[in-house]
Structure formats: C-alpha cells, structure tokens
Structure 1
Amino acid sequence: MRAVIVVILLALVCRWGVAQIGPKYVIELRGPGGAATAGMAQGRVQLVAHGLALVRFQGLSLLVVDADGEAYSEDAARAWPEADLLLVLPASAGHYAGFAPLQALRNGAPVIVGEVDAAPVSAGGPQLYPMQVWNALDLRKQNTRLRVTAMAGAAGAAAIAGYMLEMGNSRSSYRLYVSAAEAAAAELAQRMPGADLALVAGPSLLQLNRGAPSGAPAALTAAGYTFTAIKR
C-alpha cells in the first residue's frame, strides 16, 4: 500500500512539473491569420534596410532588427514597417543606441530584447519581453503560431547568440534561426539540427536542412526568399 501511495505521489509531482514547462510569454493577437497549414503554407523573409529584415508567414509578420545596424536609430525607426512583433538581435561592438529607437514605436508594440538590455522605457512606449537563453515566447494569431526561443552560442555560453523562430503548427512548421553574428552552415547545423534555414551577418541565408547543410551562403535581398512549411 505504501509503495502504491509513493507511486501516485511521484506521478502527481511529475504531472505538475510537466505543467510548468512552457513558454515564458504568450501573446494572443486579433486579426486575420492563416488557415490551418497542411505542409504547403508559405512564408517569406526579405531585406528591408541595412540591419532590418521582415519575416511573413500566414498573416503574421515579424520584424528582425540588428541592434548594431544602420536601421537601428531614432530617425530610421519612424520608417520601420508595421509588424506584429519586433525582435531586437543582441548587440555586439558597434553604435548600439539602447532603447531610444524603440520610443518611435506605437504604444504597447511587443518587442523581444535580451534580458541584460531590458532597461525601463518611457510610459506610452512599446511592451518589452526580456529573454534569457532558452526562454521562449509564443505568439498566436488565429490559426498561425510563432515560437521564438533564445539560443546560446558556444557550449556553456550564458549570452544569447540568436533566436530560433518556429512558424506553423503541430503538423507542419518552418524553423528559421536568426543572428547578427557570423557563422558557418556546418557549425550551425551541428548546434541546431532541427533548423531549416539561418539568417546571419551579411545578411546571408544558410540552408541548414535540419542537420544536412547544402549550398553556398546566399545574400538576403529586398526581393526576399520564399520558404514552405515542412511536415513534422
């Protein structure tokens, strides 16, 4: 009888622990999202300006900003395209302008930043979502889902090197890794075998193909690159 009670208690503890695993943040957006994907849903990533890329998928949009790029300034921010979510890539050595450029965004605009950079912004500004390595944010817009996960660089590193974007649903999705750092396709494919594509410094696109990198790096252009969700 005692053994049975112990087993039941362990099961309850495990169930509670599993329930705690999940994203640090969840954002539900109103507005038109894409229809349920069945493996053929398409998206696009395109260059908007130096240090600025726009990712679209099934009615959802994400603006990726390199904090060291020319586009990250107070003047340039006023011309940034509208997006459902803004992702500020980690700053390295450069002309990082802190959070001043973000003040040009609409009130409450959701912005992902590194936790070490998350100083308060003025009232009426954007809503910051500070992240540490392995933190995740889920954004849902109708049937479209986006999970953003903060990723480390070298093994054991505590600083964020980039972010994994997974777009789609439980049946089909596409995984795009974004970073402002330079990296080789073989290295990224080994570190992130589940990624389909990487956007790195250049900006360049690397075909990772879920652990089987192929082809030479390709420059990201204003014409953009079209991708298709993959059945999982």
Structure 2
Amino acid sequence: MLVIVVLLALACRAVLAQIGPRYSVQLKAGQYTPSQQGRVALAGNGLALIRYQGLTILAVSADADAYSAEAVRHWPAADLLVLTPASHGRYGGLAPLAPLHGLGVVLPEVGGHLAVPPPDGQGPRWYPLHTWDALYLRKGKTSLRVTAMPGQPGTAHVAGFMLELGHGRASYRVYLGCTPLADEELRALPDRLPGADLALLPAQQGLQLLPLRSSLVPAALPPGGYAFTAVRR
C-alpha cells in the first residue's frame, strides 16, 4: 500500500511539473495611470491594439494589408505581438517581421513558410505555441497569460489564443481567433470558451468584436475602440 501511495505521489509531482507556461517573460515596468478599465482599438487594417494597466499588446493578422515589410515600420509600439497566420499564404511568411528587433512575437507553431527561423541574435524573439502551450508575461504588477487554444473537438491545430490580462484579483479574458467562424461556430463559442469575456475574430471586412457575456452577434470594432473593465475573479 505504501508503495502505491509513493508511486501516486511521484506521478502527481511529474504532472504538476509539466503544468505551467512554456515561456516566462519579465518586462520592466513603465509609468502609467492605474485603471481597471482597458481598451481594444483599431491600429490599421488587420491590427488591434489592446491596452491594460500599462501593458500593450498588438494583435496582427497575417492576412491583412497591414502585414508587409513596408507597413510594419508604421505599426504602433507594443510590449508583445500576437500573430494569427495567413489562411491563403498571400504574404512571405515571417519575413515582414524581421525589422522588429527584440520584440516578442507569439504565433502558432507550424512548419513550412511560417516556421520560426533559428535564433541569430537579430529580429524578433519568437514564442511558437502548440495547442495548450502558454506564455506568461509580467510587467510591473500587470500580468498576461497567452494560451494557444484548440478548435472544435477532434481538431489539433491552434484555432486561437486566449489572452488573460490581470492586475491583482481582477482580470479580463480576450479570445483572439485565427480563422473566420461559421454561424454555428459563433453560437458554440461561449460554451467552448467558458470564462472568456470578449472575442476578436477575423472577417473579410476587418476585425469583428464579440462580447461573449452579452451578445452572440459580432460587430465591427468601432473607430473609437472598445472599452472594457476587468472582472474580479
């Protein structure tokens, strides 16, 4: 009996050792005005800027017109970039991101033209994620956890990223989709992503906003942006 208990304890320890982020990033805190309210704003065609408690995340669709070597120089500054891959292979893989020296880039771990190049001391810092992999970032007292999420049951590819922005006991969860969703997939999203507060979804006419706690009808991200308030959990 004692042997069984010891083996179970060792197994539990092994499982717990695997729980946690694949990457951990610490950024130096900057000056900002504390507020439990954050904002999602358009930053160009296929670009969304998420700001919360001094932390800035740039969500980029590789399908967008703004994903090019020329446009990248005009992108707004951010602490982290989250890239959703092109669905048609219309652009040159990761080449447009080469000028972003030192910037962390989260993206699905795939092969082919979107495979992450070997580190060479130049360009971005790549953080490729498989399904259920996570990156944990901390900037001062503000935290961010990015988790690569699966799609419908039976699929293994990364369908999107869950971004949980936190400060103290309050947090806000934004789901960033990688591919457009059909109507039935939209209706299933709240059940598939329990606890998520907002979804940003790609569409032909630009990024769509879907507040998961109040609506199942996506709408265009307004020019003035979308303000959100962190939830005490």
Deviation (angstroms), 1:108: 1.6
Question: What corresponds to 1:206 in structure 2?
Answer: 210
Query: Is 1:76 aligned to 2:71, yes or no?
Result: yes
User: Distance between the aligned counterparts of 2:133 and 2:222, measured in 1?
Assistant: 30
Question: What corresponds to 1:95 in structure 2?
Answer: 90
Does the Cα contact within 8 Å between 1:33 and 1:141 map onto a contact in 2? Answer: no
Deviation (angstroms), 1:34: 6.9
Question: What corresponds to 1:136 in structure 2?
Answer: 134
User: Distance between the aligned counterparts of 1:208 and 1:55, measured in 2?
Assistant: 17
Does the Cα contact within 8 Å between 2:141 and 2:168 map onto a contact in 1? Answer: no
What are the superposed Cα offsets for residues 165-207 of structure 1, whole Å, 9 maximum, x if unpaired? Answer: 1111562211110124223442211211221110112311111
Deviation (angstroms), 1:15: 2.8
Alpha-carbon spacing, 1:126–1:59, altered in 2? closer, same or farther (3 Å): same
User: Given the alignment, which residue of 111, 116, 121 partners 1:119?
Assistant: 116
Query: Is 1:62 aligned to 2:62, yes or no?
Result: no
What are the superposed Cα offsets for residues 10-60 of structure 1, whole Å, 9 maximum, x if unpaired? Answer: 22431342132101101010122779x9xx711111111111110011100
User: Distance between the aligned counterparts of 1:48 and 1:181, measured in 2?
Assistant: 19
- Backbone CA RMSD of aligned residues: 2.1
User: Distance between the aligned counterparts of 2:222 and 2:124, measured in 1?
Assistant: 28
SS of alignment partner, residue 78 of structure 1: helix
Q: Extract unaligned runs of 5+ from structure 2.
A: none
State percent identity of aligned pairs. 51
Does the Cα contact within 8 Å between 1:43 and 1:228 map onto a contact in 2? Answer: yes
**Deviating more after overlay: 163-172 vs 197-206:** 163-172
- The 5 A counterparts of 1:110-189 are 110-116=104-110, 117-120=114-117, 123-169=121-167, 171-183=169-181, 184=183, 185-189=186-190
User: Distance between the aligned counterparts of 2:32 and 2:4, measured in 1?
Assistant: 47
Deviation (angstroms), 1:216: 3.1
SS of alignment partner, residue 19 of structure 1: helix
User: Given the alignment, which residue of 13, 17, 22 partners 1:19?
Assistant: 17
User: Distance between the aligned counterparts of 2:5 and 2:157, measured in 1?
Assistant: 39
Does the Cα contact within 8 Å between 2:116 and 2:128 map onto a contact in 1? Answer: no
What are the superposed Cα offsets for residues 77-129 of structure 1, whole Å, 9 maximum, x if unpaired? Answer: 01011100011112211523211111121x22111122112331664111111
